[in-house]
Structure formats: structure tokens, C-alpha cells
């Protein structure tokens, strides 16, 4: 008897999700979702803030962000920036603790990201910048039509 009860709940859930409620997953508004079969690339770069020659930070976090933000906007139309802290051991065995700026780029080409890294290496006097390249499916969600219309009325 308990199995039938669970089966009934599952069937109701499936009915709701497949359109009995009047709205289906296909009605949701996703910009760029049609590209899911061909993943885009997401590039994430990690820029340490310690000077490569002095092993300590010479410019403030805010100034470094302003510099890299301006460089990014020369090559891409958008990014996400986060602050972090990290540690690494260099070739001489020196342990370095440093603040790190993390920039994520969606729908950017690798040449643009490399140009950002080249300019940032020089501007912040860095030895290297870590880069991650990931397959990514990304799109902008703007809500279902119903919720958006209700919101617009208020």
C-alpha cells in the first residue's frame, strides 16, 4: 500500500512537470540556451598580487583591481572578479603567501584572454598567471513569462 502512495505522488509530480500545470520547462525564458550542444569555453585566470622581485605586495588590492579591470575591458565585454588568498612555492623553494585576483570570462576567445594576461604580467610585475580552460554551457535566465509579467505590474 505504501508503494502505491509513493507511486501516486511520483505520477502527480510527473504530470505537473510535463504540462498539466499550464507551464512547461520549454516555456522558460533562457537567452543563449539553444547552444547547449556546443559548449562554450570559460577561462578563469588567477593573478597573484605579490611583486615577483620583492615577494611582497607593492600596490593595494584596489589599485591592482582597477588596473586589471581596465585591461580586461580593452579585450572582453564582461567578466566576473573575485578576491582570494593563496600560497605557492617557487623554483628556489621560497614559500609565498599572497592575495589573488580571480577573473572568469565566458564567451571570450583565448587570444583576448592571453592579451589580458600579457598586459597584467607586466603591469603587476608577475612571473606567471594561472589559467583554467573549461567547457561551459552558459546562458542568461530571465524568468518565466508569468512571473516576469506579475513583476512588471508592481
Q: Where are the domains of the chain?
A: 43-136
Cα-trace Rg, the chain: 23
CA distances from 104 to 14, 87, 139 (A): 37, 20, 15
| CATH class of the domain defined by 43-136 | alpha beta
Q: Which of 46, 48, 66 is nearest to 57 (CA)?
A: 48
pLDDT bracket for residue 61 (50, 70, 90): very high
pLDDT at 22 over 60: no
Strands 40-48 and 140-141: unpaired
Q: What is the pLDDT, as a whole number, of residue 15?
A: 43
The residue ranking higher by pLDDT, 65 or 17, is 65
Cα 145 from Cα 16, distance rounded (Å): 17
Average pLDDT, the chain: 80
- Residue 128 phi, psi (nearest 5): -160, 165
Average pLDDT of the residues in 95-108: 94
Cα dihedral sign, 78-83-89-94: positive
Dihedral angle, C-alpha 22, 27, 28, 29, nearest 10 °: -140
Q: Report whether pLDDT(28) > 90.
A: no
Say if residue 65's pLDDT is above 70: yes
Amino acid at each position: 500500500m505504501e508503494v502505491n502512495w509513493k507511486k501516486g505522488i511520483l505520477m502527480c509530480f510527473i504530470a505537473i512537470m510535463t504540462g498539466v500545470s499550464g507551464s512547461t520547462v520549454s516555456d522558460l525564458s533562457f537567452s543563449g540556451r539553444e547552444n547547449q550542444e556546443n559548449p562554450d569555453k570559460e577561462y578563469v585566470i588567477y593573478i597573484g598580487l605579490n611583486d615577483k622581485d620583492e615577494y611582497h605586495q607593492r600596490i593595494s588590492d584596489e589599485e591592482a583591481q582597477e588596473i586589471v579591470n581596465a585591461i580586461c575591458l580593452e579585450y572582453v565585454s564582461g567578466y566576473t572578479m573575485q578576491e582570494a588568498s593563496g600560497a605557492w612555492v617557487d623554483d628556489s623553494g621560497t614559500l609565498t603567501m599572497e592575495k589573488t585576483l580571480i577573473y572568469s570570462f565566458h564567451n571570450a576567445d583565448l587570444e583576448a584572454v592571453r592579451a589580458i594576461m600579457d598586459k597584467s604580467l607586466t603591469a603587476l610585475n608577475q612571473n606567471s598567471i594561472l589559467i583554467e580552460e573549461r567547457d561551459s554551457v552558459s546562458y542568461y535566465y530571465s524568468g518565466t513569462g508569468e512571473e516576469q509579467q506579475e513583476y512588471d505590474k508592481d
